[in-house]
Every structure is written in structure tokens, then in C-alpha cells.
Amino acid sequence: MTASTLVLSPAARPPALPRLSVLVRHAVPRVLEGMILPVAIFYVGFLVAGERGGVGMAVAWVYGGAVLRLVRRQPVPGTVLLAMLAVTVRAVLTLVTGDLLIFFLQPTLGVYAASLAFLGTAAAPRPLIQRVTTDLVPLPEHLTHHPRMRRFFVHLSLLWGTVQFANGSLSLWLLLSESIETYLIVRTAAVAVLMVLAALASLLAFRRVLRLLHR
């Protein structure tokens, strides 16, 4: 059987996305924890105690999240451990050099790396965006091999690769040309809007391709 002749098994339970309200409730705490609150906490520390205060508050936020999980007897995800390592290195380099630019440059370079990863794997047998999607919504293997779904993952890779490139470019431009205050406020707001729009476009496209496959 070739990929073009793959069909959905009638006996198989069709994969479906959760309700939009469920996705929003799932996403909002993560957006707050990962995007909004870190910036707000850094800014408060920056206003109160300058650059060192902002860096210290940012480090405390990351480590505090890990400690809170341990207190609640929850496992500390690998991503949190990596975040702890990254923020520690960034903080040390910033304090040693006295250049706050270094503290924000590494995440921006990471965004560019994500963009290259999405774009570079778009035509791969299993694009990176497919791994991300199937982590959120488990899909049977025969469905991910369907030509429609494979085209969807290619288009999604191009979308998120472009979005992340725009994110990195905006962040780098603001970082090099504007004050830290402007960078924090404008970058956070712009990236939040950009990510929400890209996520909504991805969600609508995913729903559409699933409906087409279920016909």
C-alpha cells in the first residue's frame, strides 16, 4: 500500500483536537510562566536594584519554579533543568562582563536556531514540527504518513520557521537599537501577538486537515 492510498481505519478512533477553551486554559498558564512573568519580574528587579537586581530576580524565578516543584513532590522537567543551566551561564557572563546585552542575546540566538530547525527539517521524513504536534495530539502512524498530513507538516514547518525568524529579527533589532525598557515591553507584546496568531492559524489548519481526512 502506498502513501497515496492510505485511508483511515473505520475502527480506529479518529484523532481530534481538544476544545478551544481547553487549549486556552492549558496555554495561558504556560504563556504567563514562560513569557509574561519572567519579563515582569526582571523589570521589577531592574527598577528596584538596577541590572544586577533584574538578573538576580530572573535567576530566582527559574530556580524558584524548580524548588516549588520539588516542594510539591513533582518531577522537575528536563526543560526546566536546561533553563536553570542556561540562566546561570547567562547571569555569570553578564555579571563578569558587566554587559546586560549578553543576558538577552543568548535567547535570541536560540530563537534563530529554532527557526533553522523548523525550516531545515520541513522536507524531512519526520519534521521537527511533527514531533511537537504529536506530543500535543497523539496521531496514529498511518495518519501521519498520509500525503495530506505530510503536506500539512511541511506548511506548518515553513510557518513556524518564518515566525521564529521574525521573532529573532525583531528581538535582535530592539536589543541593539533600543533601551532595555523598550526592548522588554515592545518585544514581549509583539512576540505574544505573533505567537498567538501563529498558534491560531496552526490550530485552524490542523482542524481543517483532520476534517478532510475524516471524509
Q: What is the pLDDT of residues 82-138, one digit of tens each?
A: 788 888 988 999 989 988 898 999 889 889 998 999 999 999 988 988 887 776 666
C-alpha cell at 106: 543568548
Q: Could you give the 3-state DSSP secondary structure of residue 18?
A: coil
For the chain, where are the alpha helices, taking DSSP H only? Answer: 20-31, 37-71, 78-97, 101-120, 128-136, 141-144, 147-177, 180-213
More confident: 212 or 175: 175
Burial annotation 76-87 (CB, 10 A radius, 16+ → b, else e): eeeeeeebbeeb
Work out the burial of residue 211: count CB atoms within 10 Å of its CB; fewer than 13 is exposed, 13-18 middle, 19 or more buried. Answer: exposed
**What is the rounded distance in angstroms from the CA atom of residue 189 to the CA atom of residue 32?**
12
Mean pLDDT of 167-171: 95
Region label for 183, one of left (φ > 0), alpha (ψ between -120 and 50) or beta (otherwise): alpha
> Per-residue pLDDT tens for 15-42?
555 565 666 666 667 667 766 788 888 9
